[in-house]
Amino acid sequence: MLRTYGPGCDGSIIDASRQLIPKKASWIDLEEPTREEEALVERCIGVDVPTQADLIEIEPSSRLYQRGDALYMTISTLTGVTEGEPTTTPLAFVLTGDRLVTLRYQSPKPVRAFIEHARREPELVADAITALIRLLDAIIDRLADELESLGSAIEEISNHIFDKRIEARRIPADRLTALLTRIGRGQTLLAKIRYSAVSVARMLNFLSSSSRLHGEGMDDARNHLASLTVDVTSLSEHATFQSDNLTFLLDASLGLISIEQNAAMKLFSWAAVVFMPPTLIAGVYGMNFHYFPELNWHYGYYIALAVMLASAVLPYLYFRWRRWI
């Protein structure tokens, strides 16, 4: 699909076979474009537009380059969080003259949100630079929202693991599996956020150092880019902090598992020690030898029971006295 935004453009879909791109359009958005739509945009801006194969094959270290007066920039945008399958998708920018072209094959949430804002507030896409900076601002804001949401989830997990009530820490196997799964998925989401934040930071640095941003009347744009650079750097640092928290919670969860396992093994150990002497005595007097010294004792049975009971109770009392159980 091909949409245009800017003065006099409301984001309506343009039919590449019958329509031309409006001359005042500052932002041209290509979503899963056809070859015919790509050709129309290329004729309009006078430079080539990356294909889907280019976006897939391009290495992260080669996603930022300049060809003539056109700046080619590709970032990894977070997507799929709402669906529970967080991943990143390439989002390409081509900045040339007074036009901004975006190319994408998925529809990340911040892009959809910015499109709605641009329709309500056309001044957000008054020119190509403004549209680019505002779109990057929306992407960074989305990363911040996801980090904040994840921080609340991490706090909930922490409160559950370190509950003041000891009994509440004994987690059944199914709940423990769900807890570890939440920690693992949180770590996966953090990895995607950090990957996206790093790619955005690299693009901001590239854009800030380009000659396009050092012309007259670009002071506000440079200041805005500097502010976005600080924001994305802070997000990366906060993501690292959250990652350390998740690692700590994972270690704490495994520690609780070890405590539960040790408690179970301790129970079996002292139970074996307590019942071993009576078992030994019963085994001795259960042998079927014909000549048995105590075989004719009148009270032998009762004496054997008393000895077995004492051999079980005395170790138990000793363990309790030593506070081993």
Residue 212, pLDDT score: 79
Q: pLDDT tens across 126-156, in order?
A: 888 999 999 999 999 999 999 999 989 888 8
Nearest to 257 by CA among 176, 153, 165: 176
Whether 183 has a pLDDT exceeding 80, the answer reads yes
Would the pLDDT of 267 be above 90?
no
pLDDT of residue 134: 93
Domain 2-260 part of CATH 3.30.460.20: yes
Contacts 24+ apart (CB under 8 A), 109-116: 109/79, 109/81, 109/82, 109/142, 110/77, 110/135, 110/138, 110/139, 110/141, 110/142, 111/77, 111/135, 111/138, 111/139, 113/138, 113/142, 114/138, 115/3, 115/5, 115/11, 115/29
The DSSP call for residue 201 is H
Q: What is the pairing mode between strands 64-67 and 27-31?
A: unpaired
Average pLDDT over residues 45-64: 75
Domain with CATH 1.20.58.340 in the chain: 265-321
Relative to beta strand 9-13, strand 27-31 is: unpaired
Euclidean distance between the first and final Cα of the chain, in Å?
A: 71
Predicted local confidence at residue 127, as pLDDT: 87
Residue ranges, comma separated, of all CATH 3.30.460.20 domains in the chain are 2-260
pTM above 0.85, yes or no: no
Q: pLDDT digits over 11-33, tens only? A: 788 887 777 888 888 898 999 88
| Count of helices and strands (H, E) across the chain | 7, 7
User: For 75-127, what is each residue's pLDDT tens digit?
Assistant: 989 988 888 888 888 899 999 888 899 999 888 899 989 988 888 888 888 88
User: What is the third-level CATH fold of 265-321?
Assistant: Methane Monooxygenase Hydroxylase; Chain G, domain 1 (1.20.58)
Q: What is the pLDDT of residue 219?
A: 85
